[in-house]
Chain A
Amino acid sequence: DDELSLLVIVIDTNPIWWGKKALGEAEPFTLSKCIDAAMVLGNSHLFMNRTNRLAVIASHTQESRFLYPGKRWAFADLFGDGGSSMESNCSGSKDGKYELLTAINDAIAEEIKDLMTKTDMRGQQTETLLAGSLAKALCCILLITESSKPLSNQEMKSRILVIKAAEDSALQYMNFMNVIFAAQKQNILIDACVLDSDSGLLQQACDITGGIYLKVPHMPSLLQYLLWVFLPDQEQRSQLVLPPPIHVDYRAACFCHRNLIEIGYVCSVCLSIFCNFSPICSTCETAFKISLPPVMKAKKKKLKLA
């Protein structure tokens, strides 16, 4: 009996970060190489089991684009059993590769080229819309899970792999936490493969949902890390020696200075955290009731009437 395993790969395609990277070294690690590695991981995942499923999302600064499956996909397209619109569009495999994989790789390549060349950079947006891409990934997982229920009695196990390039966006904290709690409730793992700087948000996501967090020590060897750490699914992970869980800093950051604090004051109305006591909450502007020690009444001396 086959188990259904769905892998969603979310690739950070922040054009500013990748642009800077390309200018840096002599042999830079480019976005194409990253996408190639992701494609090999996707193909390998589909090879692991006949019933495995794949989805790939590119997380950009302006939008989140589904690289595969494309727009308005119907569930039948994912089977690749012939007669699907995707296969009839592709030109056929040139190197004898399984047609579905060729179709998927071509679709991904087409979409990413379209995304990176034709998207206008509007406004001041420089940060990757990672929380938004994860939200769409969750909706997609839900749809695939619901659609596959009548076909098989097996429960579908899903996980999301985030390949992160640019830095965290602190402004997205609340949306990110909403996404993490929603994923935890649906038993969806979030794995993180971080290319450059450590990401506190993704560390929390991996810790809460039970996924693996890895900061890649050597970027050109990305594929090796992807295949070693992130290819095995939940069941197989318990039998392998994988990177150990990292120490996650769950201290809160105070709203006034953004310092990490161990003891703080929490407003009972809006749950804002402050490092020092103040009579008014700066977020919701409530005046707090301060409990003063009881005032001792001065003892009146009785004047003795002579």
Chain B
Amino acid sequence: MDDEPERTKRWEGGYERTWEILKEDESGSLKATIEDILFKAKRKRLYEHHGQVRLGMLLEYFVDEYFDQNPISQIGLIVTKSKRAEKMTELSGNSKKHITALKKAVDMNCSGEPSLYNSLNLAMQTLKHMPGHTSREVLVVFSSLTTCDPANIYDLIKCLKAVKIRVSVIGLSAEVRVCTVLARETGGTYHVILDESHYKELLMHHVSPPPASSTSECSLIRMGFPQHTIASLSDQDAKPSFSMAQLENNSEPGLTLGGYFCPQCRAKYCELPVECKICGLTLVSAPHLARSYHHLFPLDAFQEVPLEEYQGERCCQGCQGEMKDQNVYICKVCQNAFCVECDLFVHDSLHCCPGCIHEHPAPISV
């Protein structure tokens, strides 16, 4: 069944000599190597400047980041224990529901064996009804080394492939062969974590949308862009009304004067994005779509050049500070040089090169 050669395991490879990374220069000092290690550590520190986030809170952090980067997407949560799988939350775009459920789940007791088959089956039941233009993904956080399945899981893998669902796995303990096959066949990724920060890195990798396959359907989605009306108390015609979100949870404040009115059926909502319960129209605001634009026009990595070789002015074009680090980073398009902090900021948060937007104020592809 496996046509691809598997990678050799670590114990099958040659003997590694890790002390060779330390090199002495002519005078016998290790200074250059130490500086190099320090520089890499600084870059790593900047990269994870969020600080210590505890393991349990990482999933809540993931949900927040996911909806921040993909405001019109939806998440559903499934748990598996005692050879069964059950839905913790339904597929929805409301982050508060998921976070509340995750907080409650901390008190849940773990028992029995997990069932990979049942959880994937449950996920497939929901995802296969989604429209063709969506990217359907399942992310499994798997810590066990066994799974208890009622039927042949390889058949299920074939079904998942047919419905174009991508399954990725994050293993918490050790590599499990069935997960390797699962990820490979469906086009997902499988990683086993080394430590907490590696876990965070792997989770954050799944916040970005995967590239769409050429076989996925493309369609025009009808969406509404409601205006936010703020009626004031002095306005004679202002009538307070309930929002449709009240139907679901009673914790929202009751009557409000302003809100978003669906352009098709005039139902009121307090927050966007939301799917109108009455007429089914997806309601968003223009910035929600704009937030996903940077996934479509990703910024290329900058070229790393050692400071000694760099001929230009020792001034970072982003922050105007003096360049003191080991390397400078040069944008291949506009040839401007940036320091390491600006480079990380530009690629993680800003998604556009400050030099390029001066040379070409309008995006090139538009």
Q: Contact residues of A with B, CB < 8 Å?
A: 63-64, 66, 69-74, 125, 127, 129, 131-132, 135-136, 138-140, 142-143, 146, 169, 171-175, 177-182, 185-186, 204, 208, 247-253, 261-271, 273-274, 277-278, 281, 283, 286-289, 291
Contacts and interface: CB of A to CB of B under 8 A. Distances in A.
A3 B239 CA distance: 44
A136 B319 contact: yes
Interface in B281-307: 281, 285-287, 289-294, 296-297
Given A135-B352, A138-B345, A288 B320 contact: no
B122 interface: no
A210 to B, nearest CB: 14
Nearest 5 Cβ contacts at the A-B interface: A139-B318, A171-B362, A268-B133, A262-B263, A143-B319
B151 interface: no
B220 A186 contact: no
Question: Counting chain A CB atoms within 10 Å of each CB, which of B320, B358, B363 scores highest?
Answer: B320
- The prevalent SS among residues of A at the interface is mixed
A74 B322 contact: yes
Interface string B218-230: 1111111111101
B320 A185 contact: no
A66 B350 CA distance: 20
Contacts of A72: 313-315, 320-322
Contact of A73 (B230, B290, B297, B322): B322
Contacts of A66: 320
Contact of B218 (A64, A185, A253, A286): A286
A138 B227 contact: no
B28 interface: no
B233 interface: no
Interface string B195-232: 00000000000000000100001111111111110100
Contact of B287 (A136, A179, A250, A291): A250
Contacts of A74: 321-322
Contacts of B290: 173-174, 177, 181
Contacts of A71: 313, 315, 320
Contacts of B230: 247
A151 B358 CA distance: 34
Contacts of A270: 296
Contacts of B68: 185
Nearest to A74: B322
Contact of B292 (A143, A172, A271, A289): A271
A175 B352 contact: yes
A69 B320 contact: yes
A139 B289 CA distance: 25
Contact of B361 (A131, A179, A281): A131
Contacts of B136: none
A146 B341 contact: yes
Contacts of B351: 178, 182
Contacts of B292: 271
Question: Counting chain B CB atoms within 10 Å of each CB, which of A135, A186, A253, A291 scores highest?
Answer: A135
B333 interface: no
Question: Counting chain A CB atoms within 10 Å of each CB, which of B219, B296, B319, B352 scores highest?
Answer: B319
A154 B345 CA distance: 22
B226 A266 contact: no
B285 A178 contact: no
Contact of B220 (A173, A252, A268): A268
Contacts of B294: 178
B93 to A, nearest CB: 15
A274 B220 contact: yes
A290 to B, nearest CB: 8
Interface in B336-360: 339, 341-342, 345-346, 349-352, 354, 357-358
B319 A139 contact: yes
Nearest to B292: A271
B132 interface: yes
